Amino acid sequence: MPSIKQLEVAVFLRIGKRVSALLIGFSLAACVTPESPRTTPENVVVADADAAEQPASVSNPVVTREFGGGGLDWSRVGGLLYRYTAIERNGEVFVCGAYTGRGPGSARKLNREAMRLARVTVDGQTIMRNLRFFTEASNSNWDTELVGVDTNCQATGQSVDAVPLSAVRVEFREGRYRVQL
């Protein structure tokens, strides 16, 4: 019969394995472009999506197969699927998008944190941070790859004369994401 001390160690080891598995599960397993050190030329304005507003009367695009996008895999815990496009409104570049996830509530928190830390870039230069304004769609849209989902849009603060719409990219931070469960 094992001693109490041996049982405590065995329980600790099992808990330790769960924590390690949980941390490994929360590490980003998707291939994303590494983030280079931030350098912003004087003519590039970095916009925070929380500060931008849009008129209520303007209709936003619906996700089509032509939208850019991708996904992140949270190992066995769940995943994130996102779609986006850049459009022109009144001579300014807007980014429109939607995302969905799968997995338990902890994966949903990871998805929200990933969207908060995501950024919009043009030729490697960040022009917008925090993509939490994207429409959070039901996970039933996972199989359709979000096609047909309404998007939310935000202004980047960039002129269409300075930024070609085809050069706009969404990037996610590489590495681990930490959330409080």
Amino acid type, 42: E
Q: Which amino acid is at 133?
A: F
pLDDT at 34: 35
Q: Which of 129, 127, 168 is nearest to 43 (CA)?
A: 127
SS3 of residue 171 by DSSP: strand
pLDDT value for 181: 61
What are residue 147's phi and psi, to 5 degrees?
Answer: -60, 130
- Phi–psi pair at 8, nearest 5 degrees: -60, -40
The predicted pLDDT at position 41 comes to 41
Judge whether 149 and 62 are in contact, CB under 8 Å: yes
Amino acid making up residue 72: L
Give the Cα separation of 132 and 48 in Å (integer). 10
The whole-angstrom separation of Cα 115 and Cα 100 is: 11
pLDDT of residue 180: 63
pLDDT of 75 reads 77
Q: Is the dihedral of CA 9, 10, 14, 15 positive or negative?
A: negative
Question: Which residues of the chain fall short of a pLDDT of 50?
Answer: 1-47, 49-55
Give the model's pLDDT for residue 118.
96
Q: Count how many Cα atoms sit within 13 Å of the Cα of residue 102 in the half-sphere of its side chain.
A: 14
